[in-house]
A and B are shown apart, each in its own frame.
Chain A
Amino acid sequence: MRTMFKFLKPYRASAAVALFFMLVELAVELWQPLIISKIIDHGIVEKDPPVILKWGAVMIGISLFAFLGGIVNSFYAAHVSQSFAYDVRKKLYSKIQSFSFANFNKFPASSLITRMTNDVTQLQNTVFMGLRIMMRAPLLIVGATAMAFTVNYKLAFVLAAVIPFLILFLAWIMQKGGALFRTVQERLDNVNSVMRENLIGIRLIKAYLRKDYEGSRFGEANDSLKSRTVYVLRMMETVNPSLLFVMNISLMVILWLGSELLPVHGARVGEVVAIVNYTARVTAAFSPLSFIIAAFSRARASSRRISDVLETENEMKDAGPEGDKRISGEVEFHEVSFQYPGSEALILKDVSFFYPAGSTVCIMGATGSGKSSLFQLIPRLYDATGGSILIDGQDLRTYKIKTLRKQIGYVPQEALLFTGTIKENIAWGKEDASMEEIVKAAKAAQIHETILKLPKQYDTMLGQKGVNLSGGQKQRLSIARALVRRPRILMLDDSTSALDLKTEAALLHAIKEYQCTIFIITQKISTALEADTILLLEEGRLLERGSHTELLKESQLYQQIFQSQFGKEELQHAQRSF
């Protein structure tokens, strides 16, 4: 909760204005029973009409003032709560953008999304309410009790005795409600998660006719959300009737005491009336208070969930400004080993190699041999767990992450595009890319011709994740995105698998002109031919390396790969030709 108050700090002036006008309204309201008792005691009982008129006029004047104050309050409260929510979202989103992949494993995407919208909305509503009525109810209670004391302390004592107990009760409920609402939000996460999975996997679900199966999965998540929500809300609903009951009983006691005290101590009729009136106001104030308690409990849960994200420490340490260096593209792995956070399996074991800037390196190996994992270490998506990676002779960790990544063009296996035009998607690699640069990159990626055939060419909109493009087109587009930034190191993770050989050859030829160090993961010998060196990985170990001819001569694994693609005869033929 405390972290959330920090977010309110920049708006304390506006919040103060809102609260001030709320107090004005409150003061007016508290004043009224007093005025009424004056009208009764001095105006009516003492038969003095001018007094009635005078106080009547006063009441109208202050009512109008309170109304205007209320309007101003509304504007400022809206401003504070919306700005607050905006700032929280900003902080959350920035924090998430700074997350390492290890952090992401801790929070499922669907939960992060719920936290950023639903939870923030809960908080925002609470702040808005807080500035308008939350303070009002407790103040009204305190104020009304105090006023009652000034009228007749003996009668008012009843109020003073009851209220502390009620407040303790509310505090207890709030504590309990907070914990329960947290589980409600967690179950909402689950609903969201099934929903998201279904949206992503809709083709497969339709293909396998798993509508009912998914329906029952969703039903489970949904039912558990429902039953928990019902439980918590019902619990919160016990608050209002209980409070009401206690307050009403107090009112009775006051009436009874009033009737006892009147003859003996000469309490005035107006006084009893005023105190009954104040008690009624306190009672009325408890009803919104119970509502506020529910909202507050909910906000507590939400703020905890938001703080969880904000307080998550990023394990990946970034270098200082001195790490802002240009690189030439020389890459060295020194006994690098790697395992994913939270997993014991060693994915890479003692991998060492060195390649000067401008080399073209192919990485081959069986499925699951660690090729993509090795790739991820170079732009520091993960940090190696053993050994070191050097670029231009310096440890990767001495570079500023941003500077490092700016000079790397990475094309992942799954071609991921964003909602937006083709132009925007390519320019993603370099925000200030000119149209010429974009076209040049598209040409090199062999996608320019295809784009020109589209109805709106470079301004064609791509749907969610670029679905209306074929797999190969998406791949080439994401290669263009990497090329437009003119990287020092280009990394293609099996990104040409969907391309036919001709296109692929043209593409590989074109990127050579970009004069950068190129790492390519591939399954195809034909692609490997373009490389200076081929690295063969097997179960996380660097098994062999060398040029195509060397490996063909010496490596059994490479020979097997060759044979699997070109057949036995070709293999023998190739080997003979050396």
Chain B
Amino acid sequence: MPKDLSKPFRYKRILEKEELTQTKAPSRKKPRAQNQSQTLKRLWRYLAENSRQLYLVIAMVIISSVLSLLGPFLTGKAIDWYIVTRKNEGILLLLGGLAFIYVLTSLSLFLQNYWMIGIAQGTVSKMRTQLFAHLHNLPIPFFDKRQHGELMSRVTNDIENVSSTLNSSVIQVISSLLTLIGTVAVMLWLSPLLTILTLIIVPLMFTGMKWITNRTGRLYKLQQINLGQLNGFIEETISGQRIIKTFSQEENVIGQFLEKSGQLKEAGFWAASYSGFIPKLMNGLNNLSFTVIAAIGGFLAYKGHISIGTIVIFAEYSRQFTRPLNDLANQFNTVLSAIAGAERVFDILDEKEEAHNEGLTLPLDSVIGEVEFKNVSFSYEKEGNTVSNLSFKAEPGQMTAFVGATGAGKTTIINLLSRFYDPDSGSILLDGIDISRVKREDLRKNMGFVLQDSFLFQGSIRENIRYGRLEATDEEVERAAVLANAHSFITRMQEGYDTMLQQDGSGISQGQKQLLSIARAILADPEILILDEATSSIDTITEMKIQEALQRLMKGRTSFVIAHRLNTIQKADQIIVLNEGQIMESGSHNELLALGGYYSGLFNSQLKNP
């Protein structure tokens, strides 16, 4: 016997490990059932926004359901009236009626799906847009803690679950319910006894379904979580190919991948198995009721209580009866999988946005550019301070430079100033206004950034520079590029400014990326300029040339500069030397040299010919 045949019995019984579903699910711990029904309600609200179309769909469902009941009824009557009696006058009239019904059935079926697909995809598209928009309102720490691929999975894999469910489930559920009610009514009218016999399967069905869906709900969620983690891992390892390759870690990451993939397989196996039970259970019950009708109905017909036509109709109806139940049960499953997906989308939508400013928000139209840090403390983790009790002041138009060993807190100051993070204590004032009371947008509108990781988008070089000011003309873009010393390398490329950059900005060198970032900042023409290691990957000759442009740009603007090469900051109005998040010394270049402290030591080591 092939070994594989015993495999299905060797999957880990993950359901018995209750804590698995608990620990893997991030933060939120509401009771599951309550959570599920809330998610469902929330999904429904999305659908209900298209109420007019939804009514149309429902109307069509009602029409097609009624018609699908009429069809078999007339068929049964045709047998009773014309075939059993062997008289065929008038059958053509009946058949004509039937044909009309069938046309309407098909038409209403098509229309309900046509509209529903529109509603469903509109909903899904809206969820995606909301998710995307919401992500932009989330604070930076949120992104620092999550894998990109895991978040991407929510947009693709989780929303996909919702999408495929909405396409069919709403219609199915409504039509199933209607068909169910209609069928039972007709059956009762035809023969109450047989109806009751048919209904004996209902309690059986409910017990079975409850048992199954209890499990599938949890398993679907687990499956989506695992899928998200896998997606995250894939994204990270594709982004990190350079490292993986040069370190020959292919086998290692494949191993880790397989582990995650295996977890997904396990959750998937149980979710699929249990959800697979439902149609089987329904089929079994269906067959059972069919038998009951055939046997008992046959007996009754033999006794002459009912006609043979009635049995035929009943046999047909019992299928009509179990089919919607079957569908409902199946839909229940699909809906559960959609809930699992939707929950993960809502999880993100419920993440708290960057704190809105309480009280009055102050408009920042014309910034003078006075910046003051007052006793600012902050840490990324809750323990230990990255910067502590920091106080300094930058006068309008002044250039402030930060110097210090790596990890001294230089970039942190930039993060706080731009409100990527807010301080744990103390305050930062811009023109005397606490920036925590200024809208982030208003604040950043006045700032131009060249950040440590120069990021470029997929698109042309021109578009990438224009990112600094979207309404800039081509001439302005090129002028900025000239100032940033990027013009010459750009024009040497085959398509000049229209050269398309690959995703992640690959295709040009790191230093060239920085030149483009500088051009972008120049184009933005901000009141306050922030340069975090803006020229670290640029050779010193080019750097010197850019310095002139930057000096000109910084003139009359408040600017903050982080640089390791001290010759780029000699002209700063004040240089702040940081050590482990605290100010060690500060002053102008000459003052610090005279002081003979850390800075002068650093400067001499760097600027003395060795």
Contact = CB atoms under 8 A, between A and B. Distances in A.
A85 B268 contact: yes
A367 B509 contact: yes
Given A47-B302, A255-B95, A259-B83, A471 B406 contact: yes
A176 interface: no
Given A56-B291, A76-B8, A233-B117, A114 B503 contact: no
A355 interface: no
Closest 3 CB pairs of A and B: A472-B406, A56-B295, A70-B280
B280 A71 contact: yes
B44 interface: no
B128 interface: yes
Contacts of A76: 8
Contacts of B239: 109, 416, 465
Interface residues of A, number: 198
A101 B245 CA distance: 10
Contacts of B361: none
Contacts of B128: 191, 218, 222
Interface string A389-411: 00000000000011001101010
B156 A79 contact: no
B452 interface: yes
Interface stretch (B24-32, B86-94, B181-189): B86-94
Interface stretch (B51-59, B256-264, B423-431, B550-558): B256-264
Nearest to B244: A97
Given A78-B276, A367-B509, A218 B129 contact: yes
Given A201-B455, A259-B88, A245 B230 contact: no
B533 interface: yes
A223 interface: yes
Contact of B407 (A56, A57, A99, A473): A473
A529 interface: yes
Given A40-B311, A96-B238, A372 B510 contact: yes
B117 to A, nearest CB: 5
A195 to B, nearest CB: 5
B239 to A, nearest CB: 6
Interface in A401-450: 401-402, 405-406, 408, 410, 412-414, 416, 418-419, 428-429, 431, 450
Nearest to A52: B298
11 contacts: A56-B298, A66-B287, A128-B276, A262-B88, A284-B319, A367-B537, A428-B247, A428-B252, A450-B407, A464-B144, A497-B564
Nearest to A539: B492
Interface stretch (A117-125, A146-154, A162-170, A324-332): A117-125
Contacts of A191: 128, 155-156
A234 B109 CA distance: 12
Contact of A256 (B95, B118, B252): B95
Contacts of B507: 340, 343
Interface in A42-81: 43-45, 47, 49, 52-53, 55-57, 59-60, 62-64, 66-67, 70-71, 73-79, 81
Contacts of A113: 149, 152, 231, 234-235, 238
Contacts of A44: 298, 301-302, 308
A510 interface: no
Q: Which of B380, B455, B609 has the most CB of A within 10 A?
A: B609
A287 to B, nearest CB: 9
A233 B83 contact: no
A455 B250 contact: no
Contact of B272 (A78, A343, A468): A78
B444 interface: yes
B294 A118 contact: no
Contacts of B235: 109, 113, 196
A161 interface: no
Interface stretch (B190-198, B389-397, B473-481, B541-549): B541-549
Interface string A196-213: 111111111111111101
A452 interface: no
A97 B242 CA distance: 11
Contacts of A565: 540, 565, 567, 607
Contacts of A211: 133, 136-137
A382 B17 CA distance: 48
Interface in B422-441: 440-441
Most chain A CB inside 10 Å of its own CB: which residue of B247, B253, B315, B538? B247
Given A248-B71, A467-B144, A209 B316 contact: no
Contacts of A1: none
Interface stretch (B33-41, B97-105, B587-595): B97-105
A171 interface: no
A104 B241 contact: yes
Among A200, A240, A367, max chain B CB count under 10 A is at A367
- Determine which residue in B160, B238, B242 has the highest number of CB atoms from chain A within 10 A of its CB, and name it: B238
A503 B610 CA distance: 16
A352 interface: no
B206 interface: no
Interface string A82-101: 11011001100110111101
B522 interface: no
Interface in B252-290: 252-254, 257-258, 261-262, 264-265, 268-270, 272-273, 276-277, 279-281, 283-284, 287-288, 290
A193 interface: yes
Interface in B1-15: 1-2, 4-5, 7-9, 11
A471 B533 contact: yes
Given A39-B295, A97-B253, A242-B106, A416 B243 contact: yes
A242 to B, nearest CB: 7
A523 interface: yes
A551 B41 CA distance: 75
A240 B109 contact: yes
Nearest to B276: A74
Contact of B503 (A40, A197, A500): A197
Contact of B143 (A199, A263, A272, A405): A199
Nearest to A401: B248
B537 A14 contact: no
B438 to A, nearest CB: 13
B539 A105 contact: no
A186 interface: no
A114 B156 CA distance: 8
A56 B292 CA distance: 7
B605 interface: yes
A497 B562 CA distance: 13
Given A60-B288, A67-B284, A113-B234, A77 B272 contact: yes
A14 B4 contact: yes
A94 B255 CA distance: 10
A237 interface: yes
B95 A498 contact: no
Given A191-B128, A565-B565, 12 more contacts: A10-B4, A73-B280, A78-B270, A199-B135, A201-B455, A233-B121, A280-B319, A414-B453, A428-B249, A485-B247, A526-B605, A565-B607
Contacts of B515: 367
A564 interface: yes
B533 A202 contact: no
A145 interface: no
Nearest to B7: A79
A86 B262 contact: yes
Contacts of B564: 497-500
Given A67-B281, A90-B258, A117 B231 contact: yes
